[in-house]
Amino acid sequence: MTPRISVIIIFLCLLHHSSIAQFSREQQDLNITSQAKKQVIDTITEYISHGYVFPDIAIRVVKAIRTFQESGDYDKIQGSKAFADTVNHLLMSISNDKHLSILFSHNIVPPKTDKEMPLPDFIKQFAVETNYGFKKIDILEGNIGYINIMGFFPFDEATDNAIAAFNFLANTQAMIIDLRNNNGGVGGLANFILSYFFDQRPVEFLEVNFRKNSRVEQSWSSFYVPGKRYLGKPVFVLTSHATFSAGEAFAYILQSQNRATIVGETTGGGANAGDLVRVNDHFVMNLPVGRPVSPITKANWEGVGVKPDIPIAQDKALSTAHIEALQRLVDTTTDEKTKDHLKAILKQIQSAIPTLQ
């Protein structure tokens, strides 16, 4: 039976601006009336005014939206996609917050239940198409585990796949986690997966300071995970400029806890914890409502991204991490026969890649 995950912190960021554009192109457009545009603007300005994590920035954003509205420029827009793109460009230009955005959905967005805001259909579709985030799992030469996580989804299938992946890779000697195309997701699943890299003693990952009621919440590792924990073995995390939000949180936590080596590019720089709120039948809003803080660094990655320990172009990150993992095993293995075997594999891979500059 799949254990239930307590979603303490939600980074609803599976779609930041580049991904929003992608899904907008894939969905059929809808005409939007002047009345609908006014309703969207009135609703999102209300959300921003009372909920956005930084009140001073909220004031500036709302003023800019209202000024643009009064100029009549919204009146020229007829399609829902173009309307969402225009609003998002304005939100980003004022706030510099890549989470703050509206999402268009061709299908009707279900009303909010008592517990949570249902995810739009296109996010569910994306989850299915990416095997609920677990795009590829493999064992590379030298018994190096590889797992490509495309996103952290709030579905039982995603948890089942996470458990299956770690059971499959449990006996590898090092692990490479590929987050180069991870746009984020829910913190609960990310925390669950992170727990495999720590022992049963709870470790605090992040503290989130919310604007509403000055609430503070913490996220911790789990004292229980199904199967073996992945302890005492080298871990490498691959990143790119597209790695975002919960994907960044995952890398940031492992790096700050000295539990992994980050290989690749500086990430996108979106740290604020978001909430998905319904605007109307065809629009939802990703509203940043909290600021995460690491108990170790006393900071986060907002606007600056996660800096790699080994900077390298994203298309060379996997080869680089594979070589680093093999070298780490060569350096630490005491059995001479195993060491010679690893050296042979390392030499073969290095010869196949003349330069990684």
- Would you list the domain boundaries of the chain? 10-122, 129-273+290-352
Q: How far is CA 262 from the centre of its chain?
A: 15
The helices-and-strands tally (H runs, E runs) of the chain is 10, 13
Q: Write down the pLDDT at residue 10.
A: 40
Q: Write down the pLDDT at residue 355.
A: 58
pLDDT digits (tens), the chain, 357 positions? 333 333 333 444 444 444 444 444 467 899 999 999 999 999 999 999 999 999 999 999 999 999 999 888 888 899 999 999 999 999 999 999 999 999 898 888 887 765 565 666 777 888 898 999 999 999 999 999 999 999 998 889 999 999 999 999 999 999 999 999 998 888 889 999 999 999 999 999 999 999 998 999 999 999 999 999 999 999 999 999 999 999 999 999 999 999 999 999 999 999 998 888 899 999 999 999 999 999 999 999 999 999 999 999 999 999 999 999 999 999 999 999 999 999 999 999 888 876 554
Judged on CB neighbours under 10 Å (0-12, 13-18, 19+), 211 is middle
CATH number of 129-273+290-352: 3.90.226.10
Contact between residue 202 and residue 221 where contact means Cβ atoms under 8 Å apart = yes
| Structure token digits, residue 132 | 């609920």
How many angstroms separate the Cα of 211 from the Cα of each of 19, 46, 52, 293?
27, 15, 7, 14
For 117-152, b where at least 16 C-beta lie within 10 A, e where not — what string? bbbbebbeebbeebbbbbbebeebebbbbbbbbbbb
Report phi then psi at 302, rounded to 5: -60, 125
- Closest Cα partner for 307 from 350, 265, 337, 259? 265
For residue 216, count other CB atoms closer than 10 A to its CB. Answer: 11
| 182 Cβ contact partners less than 8 Å away, ≥ 6 residues apart | 133, 149, 150, 151, 152, 242, 243, 244, 246, 247, 250
Beta strands in the chain (DSSP E): 10-11, 101-104, 134-140, 144-149, 174-178, 185-186, 204-210, 216-220, 235-239, 261-264, 273-280, 283-293, 310-311
Contact between residue 9 and residue 289 where contact means Cβ atoms under 8 Å apart = no
Q: Reading across the β-sheet that carries 174-178, which strands appear in turn?
A: 134-140, 144-149, 174-178, 235-239, 261-264, 310-311
